[in-house]
Amino acid sequence: MNPMRALRQYQKVNSHAQISEASPHRLIQMLMEGGLERMAQAKGAMSRGDVSQKAMLLTKAIDIITGLRQGLDEEKTDDKAALQRLDDLYEYMAVRLAQANSQNDPQIIDEVAGLLITVKSGWDEIAPH
């Protein structure tokens, strides 16, 4: 068996196990981590001139941000204005990543990654104990 294929299969099984055992809070953290990872990988593809890989990775990052946006729950907050600002921020991130793709601009990816890191650090701070 191909060792890389075996490694990918292990990683897939391992990530499925992590997801099935994760709390809703941890799932959001994992989505954010995945988005940041895809952005970093897209920058690498961009620097190598691998246009199709860059586009695929940025599309995955946009999909993750869209998932975060769809997961916002008005029922679970008293601060509707803050929720709307976060929704707007996620929308802005998705638009900017699409621009990074079309303009082949790694600085836009850095901007969005910085925003997502800020959101993630706030999310990490409110982790249930």
pLDDT tens for each residue of the chain, 129 residues long:
555 566 556 556 555 556 667 788 888 999 999 999 999 999 999 999 999 999 999 999 999 999 999 988 888 778 889 999 999 999 999 999 999 999 999 999 999 999 999 999 999 998 776
The answer for residues whose C-beta is within 8 angstroms of residue 27's C-beta and 6 or more apart is: 19
Cα–Cα nearest to 120, from 24, 61, 16, 35: 35
**pTM here?**
0.83
Residue 2: the pLDDT is: 58
Looking at residue 19, what is its pLDDT? 61
- Ramachandran area for residue 49 (φ above 0: left; ψ -120 to 50: alpha; else beta): left
Please tell me the predicted confidence (pLDDT) of residue 128: 75
Q: Which domains does the chain have, with CATH numbers?
A: 24-125 (1.20.120.340)
pLDDT value, residue 119: 96
pLDDT at 20: 66
